[in-house]
Amino acid sequence: MPWDPFSVLGLKRVFDLSSAEIERAYLARVASPPAAADGDGPGADLNRARRELKDPESRANALLGLLGGPAKEQDRSLPDGFLMEMMAVRERMESEGEPARTGWEEWGEARREELRSATADLFRQLDGAPSPATDRLRAIRRQLNAWRYIERMLEQTGGL
């Protein structure tokens, strides 16, 4: 059975979870922990689930896997035009250099939020579907791949 951080914390399998919801579920489980799935004790599972669900990108990857979507190792596709856009952005970042760093950090935050929002919208479209369509799951994977690309690019360029 695959790792399910949502079940560990007793949460519904949805992307739209607030930090407060995750924290409440974590604290409730810490007060009366279930048996551990991995033998390391219930605290380890609870801490891992909390950490994974609090990070939106990790939460999206976990949810996509539980819904039967492709893992990043299986599908490395990106949204149409994304690589061309990123090549142009990287070129501008390098030419503008350190003085423009704050602007690029703001750009990164805005782009990250766009991708998070688009991912959330795609997950909402799946809510209540008995069997999510493969094309929708692949669309989510493409968004997540773009999200990861932005994160790595900003890390490499000394951004966020």
Pairs from 86-95 (Cβ < 8 Å, separation ≥ 24):
86/149, 86/150, 86/153, 89/153, 90/153, 90/157, 93/157, 93/159, 94/157
- Token pair belonging to 83: 């690589």
Mean pLDDT within 22-46: 78
Domains of the chain, by residue range, sit at 5-54, 82-156
Mean pLDDT highest for which of 39-43, 82-86, 104-108?
82-86
Instruction: Give CA–CA dist 33/26, Å, rounded.
Output: 9
Instruction: Give CA–CA dist 141/61, Å, rounded.
Output: 8
Mean pLDDT within 77-98: 90
Q: Of 35 and 142, which is predicted with more confidence?
A: 142
